[in-house]
């Protein structure tokens, strides 16, 4: 087992298995920090939502009104970090102070 493995293990007919699911979602798909190389740890997949995991999360969320969900959590074992928007840009979000507060509180839990 490789604790630093970041991709799923799905075979896509190439030498290197897996897609980095964090980079397989549709928003800003294929942008900074992703790779088109299937052997890269940050391989984004052949298209947005190409993987069953991301496809069904999207399908589940789309079944609800837009204002149903107040927040989303994404657990990343790779770096053991607490991350929040934006991962593709250095511009702060409108709710940065709230995100900072939640991240500090989450960081105290072990």
At 106 the pLDDT is 85
Q: Are residues 84 and 53 part of one domain?
A: no
Interior/surface letters 7-42, b for 16+ CB within 10 angstroms, e for the rest = bbeeeeeeeeebbbbbbbbeeebeeeebeeebeeee
Strand partners, 43: 35
First-to-last alpha carbon distance for the chain, in angstroms, is 23
* Mean pLDDT of the residues in the chain: 89
For residue range 33-86, list pLDDT tens digits in order: 999 999 999 999 999 999 999 999 999 999 999 899 887 877 766 777 778 887
What integer pLDDT is reported at residue 74 of this predicted model? 74
Q: Identify the band that residue 98 occupies on the pLDDT scale cut at 50, 70 and 90.
A: very high
pLDDT confidence band for 110 (50 / 70 / 90): low
- pLDDT reported for residue 52: 97
Whether 85 contacts 78, CB under 8 Å: no
Q: Is 25 a residue whose pLDDT tops 80?
A: yes
Shared domain check, 53 and 32: yes
pLDDT above 90: percentage of residues in the chain: 55
Per the structure, the complete domain to which residue 104 belongs is given by 80-110
Whether residue 74 is contained in a domain is answered as no
Q: How many domains does the chain have?
A: 2
């Amino acid at each position: 087992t490789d604790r630093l493995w970041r991709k799923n293990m799905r075979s896509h007919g190439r030498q290197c298995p897996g897609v980095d699911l964090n980079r397989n979602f549709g928003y800003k798909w294929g942008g900074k920090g992703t790779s088109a190389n299937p052997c890269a740890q940050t391989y984004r997949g052949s298209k947005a939502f190409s993987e069953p995991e991301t496809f069904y999360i999207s399908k589940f969320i789309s079944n609800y009104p837009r204002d149903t969900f107040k927040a989303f959590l994404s657990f990343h074992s790779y770096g053991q970090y607490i991350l929040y928007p934006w991962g593709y840009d250095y511009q702060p979000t409108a709710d940065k102070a709230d995100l900072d507060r939640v991240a500090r509180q989450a960081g105290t839990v072990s």
